[in-house]
Amino acid sequence: MNKVNLFLLTTFIFQSLFLNSVFAKEIFEVDISEAWISEAPPTVSVLAGYAKIHNASDRPITLLTVSSPNFSKIEIHRSVLNGDMVSMEKQDSLEIPARSTIMLSPGDLHLMLFDPVKPLRSGDTATLNFSFSDGHNKTIEAKVERRSSEDHSHHHH
């Protein structure tokens, strides 16, 4: 390889690295999937929502707020066991470590959805908007589903 080609190759590599780093800032590497809301009787004014949040980037990202046109207010909660009492602790934010997945699931971290604008039934969807510390937002549709019986009972033999 002669000197000119080597120079061009080096320039090309440096440009690629530079462009990659520019694009890396443009791509939001957080994915929210498997979002669902547990169906509740119409008289219940607080519902629980669950989802899988994956951070594919090499930096931790913090979920700051979740909002929805379908609810008056949404909080991030964690269910904790105190003795034999389960209580819920409101989280001010939720950090998703680099290259990891956080599951919001029954009995653990969850979204507390207050005062549905209209009653939601199994099969309906609600729009959830997630706001993150780096300024990115992600809007997804969560499906309202009936919680399967094995989720909330531990009557295994």
**What does the chain look like in DSSP terms, one character per residue?**
--HHHHHHHHHHHHHHHHHHHHHHHHS--EEEEEEEEE---TT--EEEEEEEEEE-SSS-EEEEEEE-TTEEEEEEEEEEEETTEEEEEEES-EEE-TTEEEEE-TTSEEEEEEEESS---TT-EEEEEEEETTS-EEEEEEEEEPPPHHHH-----
- Least Å distance between CB 37 and Cu ion? 13
Compute the distance between CA of residue 105 and CA of residue 90 in angstroms, rounded to an integer: 15
Q: Which is nearer to Cu ion, 136 or 152 (CB)?
A: 152
- Nearest approach in angstroms of CB 75 to Cu ion is 7
* Residue (102 or 112) nearer to Cu ion, CB: 112
Could you give the C-alpha distances from 32 to 4, 142, 156, in angstroms and in order?
47, 10, 31
Beta carbon nearer to Cu ion, 57 or 79 = 79
Instruction: Give the number of other Cβ atoms within 10 Å of residue 110's Cβ.
Output: 22
CB nearer to Cu ion: pick between 96 and 113: 113
Site of interaction with Cu ion (CB under 5 A): 77, 88, 112
Residue nearest Cu ion, CB atom distance: 77
Closest approach, Cβ 71 to Cu ion, in A, equals 13
Q: Give whichever of 30 and 112 is closer to Cu ion, judged by the CB atom.
A: 112
Q: How far is the CB of 77 from Cu ion (least distance, A)?
A: 3
**Min. distance of Cβ 17 from Cu ion in angstroms?**
45
